[in-house]
Amino acid sequence: MKNQQFSLLSWRTRNRLTLEDVADLSGVSVSMLSRVERGERCLSPRAKVLVAKRLGVKIRDLFPVEEVLNEEEATRGFGSSEPRDERNP
């Protein structure tokens, strides 16, 4: 869990903001932000979206974002190992 939380701390310190500043801007409490930065808590995906939006940055600027599909997986249908033919669904 810790490795996933360092982006928020890095972004905050690069922008010379305090926890209080980020709490005021994001609507998340100082204590929760502190726990997130220390890797003790995680924000829900919805909360991450809201925080990023309120801070005016991309989610990936604050939190690690896993690629959901790699290029090969994106070209096939779900549950299928064969490439999907769009002409014959």
Q: Supply the pLDDT for residue 64.
A: 83
Using DSSP's 3-state secondary structure scheme, residue 63 falls into coil
Q: Supply the pLDDT for residue 66.
A: 72
Q: What is the CATH number of the domain that holds 18?
A: 1.10.260.40
Please give the Cα distance from 8 to 37 (Å, whole number).
6
Look up the pTM and report it: 0.67
Q: What is the pLDDT of residues 68-85, one digit of tens each?
A: 656 666 566 655 555 555
Domains held by the chain: number: 1
Please give the Cα distance from 10 to 84 (Å, whole number).
41
- Is there a domain that residue 52 lies in? yes
- Is there a domain that residue 45 lies in? yes
The string of DSSP codes covering 2-57 is: GGGTHHHHHHHHHTT--HHHHHHHHS--HHHHHHHHHTS----HHHHHHHHHHHTS
Tokens of 89: 């669904």
Q: Supply the pLDDT for residue 67.
A: 62
Q: What is the pLDDT of residues 20-62, one digit of tens each?
A: 999 999 999 999 999 999 989 999 999 999 999 999 999 999 9
Provide the residue range defining the domain that includes 31. Answer: 2-62
- Is there a domain that residue 32 lies in? yes
- Is there a domain that residue 69 lies in? no
More confident residue, 66 or 22: 22
- Is there a domain that residue 88 lies in? no
